[in-house]
Structure formats: structure tokens, C-alpha cells
Amino acid sequence: MSATPPNPASFDKLGGLSYLNPAAPEPWASFVQQIERVRPYLGSLERWVETLIRPKRTLIVDVPIERDDGTVAHFEGYRVQHSLSRGPGKGGVRFHPDVTLNEVMALAGWMTIKNAAVGLPFGGAKGGIRVDPNSVSKGELQRITRRYTSEIGVIIGPDRDIPAPDVGTNAMTMAVMMDTFSMNRGGTATGVVTGKPIALGGSLGRQEATGRGVFITAREAGRTIGLQIDGARVVVQGFGNVGGIAARLFHEAGARVLAVADHTATLANEHGIDIPAALAHVAANGGLAGFPGAAPIDIEDFWQIECDFLVPAALEGQITPARAERIRTRIVVEGANGPTTPAADDVLRERGVLVVPDVLANAGGVTVSYFEWVQDFSSFFWTEEEINERLERLMVNAFAAISHVAADKKVSLRTAAFIIACHRVLEARAERGLYP
């Protein structure tokens, strides 16, 4: 979070949007600050930069359902299309009790940057519902998903906006969304979402893609400072589809994972955690709590463990300036979206900690989502080996391009990624012009 909340007089710097609370601007304010930092590098394209701090389309929907006991419950849902200048919107759907419009706007903005930074032909979008998936029955969750899909159906579609899984959602959520959209349209539309089950047009390699991308960018970042994965010490926050897969790949490459954390427990073992055993425990028990292969520690102690790679792969806003002062790592690899606040980013840079930004590090998921979308359109599917090879090539090339800009302009990898992405988005915006 920001060191001090801005006062209403400075609200225009947050995008000047009337529906944001200037007393609690995060995380949209973080995104706006990141955009502001690239203004000096935009040249003549700066005249279009305001389009990046004003989302193109924001939809708030009521999601009413009949509960199993016959009562009617209402849930608040969102879909934000931040930019469609370079192609249809692309971004996940988050089911979490703390989801806010502010958060979804920021996540949509980061998707715009992420897609452009790695060269995917998408704009940025994001969605969410304020619901705890664990607090409702399976039937209730399906009804919530179907009603939400119907409500946002007016703005999504294979060539308009393509949702995907995020926190609290999975392949089955996407299957229900695809089926609902298809039923409303009167024909099967596999390309309306990505991250689907294989039987419904999903892609091999999609489930592991985000964690694999985190590992690839960590490896490339390590090479820039002469740090090898084999023998490296790793700490991972978040042990789900991103953190768990990344931890497994680090483990398989010879790294020693010293600590892991999820919503149920924070655990450490100085000799290294048996990651396959930890993953099996989570699969059987729903979380790390009770895993016998490591000892519980305080979450603040977790951030101070001396390591080579620190992977925040949970939610945004985890690395605050105070934590950034205490972190003892050589490289931070952002598996989550927005885990480091701008102020904390500055602290880490001053301390010489290399940060691989979220818009690059966790782009593996949307990259393989792009592959899935292409495969659905062509009805021709690739092998998992082909998927992983294409992902590897794209991520390595994107890292190299961003590293080059960072070195050339003497800026952080995050600012370099934003420079590349903003140029691509704003050039498209300028070429298209304004309608009418």
C-alpha cells in the first residue's frame, strides 16, 4: 500500500474516476504510478497516455441465485475491459470475498501491459465476483457462475473478450462459463474462455503454464547475474497453481526450497522441503497445514529468510516498503499480480535486489491461453511438448528484449516492460485514431 493515502485534491492522479475511493486507492493507484513512470520514455505517444489510466469499459453486475435452502442470495460481480486497442480483451475471473472494482480495474490494466509486453494480440480485461467459493455448495457455485456469465455475456465472446481462470476459479469454472455462453448463443463457442478441460477444447500444458513461466524467467534472471538454479535457495509464497508448480520445477532443477506458504500455513525447513510430498499433502488436505515435512513459522519471519529467489505467488500488495527493507534475497520473481507496491519496488531497487515483474514473470498462463484460443479457432491441437517449446521460446525472447531496454535506459525490468508495452498499446491507439 502507499505510504500515505492521497487526499481528494490529488485524486486526478489516480485516473480521476468518480467511483474510486481516494482514501483507499490501492491497487489501482499502483498501476497508475507505474504508468506515470514511463511518461518520459513515450515521446510523441505521450498524448495518448490518458487512455491507459481510464479503463475502456467497466461493468458491475448483480448476481442473484436461489440457495439450496430456498433463500435468495445476491453477489456483486465485475468485468473490466481496460484496453481493446490491440485485440480482444483477455484476463481471468477471480472468485474471492475481498474482490473489489478497484482491484479488478488494476488487474485488467496489468493484463493490458502483460499481453503487450510479451507480444500477444490481446487487450487487457479482468473479472471477479465477491464470493468465497468454499462457503457455497457445488450447485450454488455453478448457479453463481452461470448467472454471472449471462450478465457479462453482452461484452464477452471469442473475438471480444476471453475470460480465463484466476484465484478461486479453475477449469470446471471455465467449462460452466463456456456452456452458459454457448447455450445463450445457440451454438458451441469453445473459444469464449481459455483454461478449459481438455475434453472441451482446452490446451495441454495450460494448467502448469503460469508456474512454468515463473520458473523460466527466474532462470533467465539468474543467468544475468551468474546465479544458477541448481543449488539455489528458494522461498515461495502461495502454493496453488502458480507457486506450487514453480516450486516443483525449482525442486526438479536442483534448487532447495526452504519455505512455502499458503492461506492455511507458513512452513520452513532449512534443509529443503520435499516439494512432491508437499503437493501431495495439499491435494489430499486442501492446504499446507499439517504437512509434517516442515515447521510452522510466523509470516513476517517468512519474508526475512535468506535466499536466492523469492517468489510471491499469492495476492497483490504483499511486499510493502517495511517488508522490502527486511527481505534477504537476490531476485524477486513475481508469480502473483501486483505483489510489490511501487514504494516497495523502490526500496528493493535501492538495495540491489533484482525484481522480475509480474507482467513478465507470470505471463506464461496468458501465453498458453493464447495458444489454446488459436487451437480452438483452427480446431487443430498441438502436443504438450510443442506447447512447452513455444512457451519457452516466447518467454525467453520477451525476457531478453525487456532486459535490453532496462540496460539501455538504466531502468528496472518493470519499467522496461512498461516502456515496451505502452509503446505497443499507444501506437495501436494512435494508428486507430478516435471514433467518431
**Per-residue model confidence as pLDDT tens digits over 106-131:** 999 999 999 999 999 999 999 999 99
Residue 92 C-alpha cell reads as 481471468
Asked whether the predicted pLDDT for residue 164 surpasses 90, the reply is yes
Round to whole Å and give the CA distance between 126 and 114.
12
Round to whole Å and give the CA distance between 186 and 116.
33
Contact between residue 275 and residue 294 where contact means Cβ atoms under 8 Å apart: no
Nearest Cα neighbor of 259 from 228, 232, 294 is 294
Preceding amide of 436 cis, omega within 30: yes
Task: Return mean pLDDT, the chain.
Answer: 94
Asked whether the predicted pLDDT for residue 31 surpasses 80, the reply is yes
Nearest Cα neighbor of 10 from 26, 27, 23 is 23
- Strand 256-261 vs strand 266-268: parallel, antiparallel, or unpaired? antiparallel
Neighbour count for residue 409 (Cβ, 10 Å): 13
For the segment 35-84, what is each residue's pLDDT rounded down to a tens digit?
A: 999 999 999 999 999 999 999 999 999 999 999 999 999 999 999 999 99
Confidence grade of residue 26 (pLDDT, cut at 50, 70, 90): confident
Contact between residue 142 and residue 67 where contact means Cβ atoms under 8 Å apart: no
Round to whole Å and give the CA distance between 213 and 206.
11
Round to whole Å and give the CA distance between 279 and 286.
10
Confidence grade of residue 4 (pLDDT, cut at 50, 70, 90): very low
| Residue 7, pLDDT score | 47
Above pLDDT 70, what percent of the chain?
95
Q: What mean pLDDT is predicted for residues 249-254?
A: 98
The number of residues in the chain equals 436
Round to whole Å and give the CA distance between 207 and 364.
10
Contact between residue 146 and residue 152 where contact means Cβ atoms under 8 Å apart: no
Round to whole Å and give the CA distance between 307 and 71.
51
Please confirm, yes or no, whether 126 is among the known catalytic residues: yes
Confidence grade of residue 16 (pLDDT, cut at 50, 70, 90): low
Q: What mean pLDDT is predicted for residues 190-216?
A: 96
Buried/exposed 18-40: b ≥16 CB within 10 Å, e otherwise: eebebeebbbbbbbbbbbebbee
Give φ, ψ of 258 to 5 degrees.
-85, -30
Confidence grade of residue 14 (pLDDT, cut at 50, 70, 90): low
Catalytic residue among 13, 90, 114, 126: 126
Q: What mean pLDDT is predicted for residues 88-96?
A: 97
Asked whether the predicted pLDDT for residue 20 surpasses 90, the reply is no
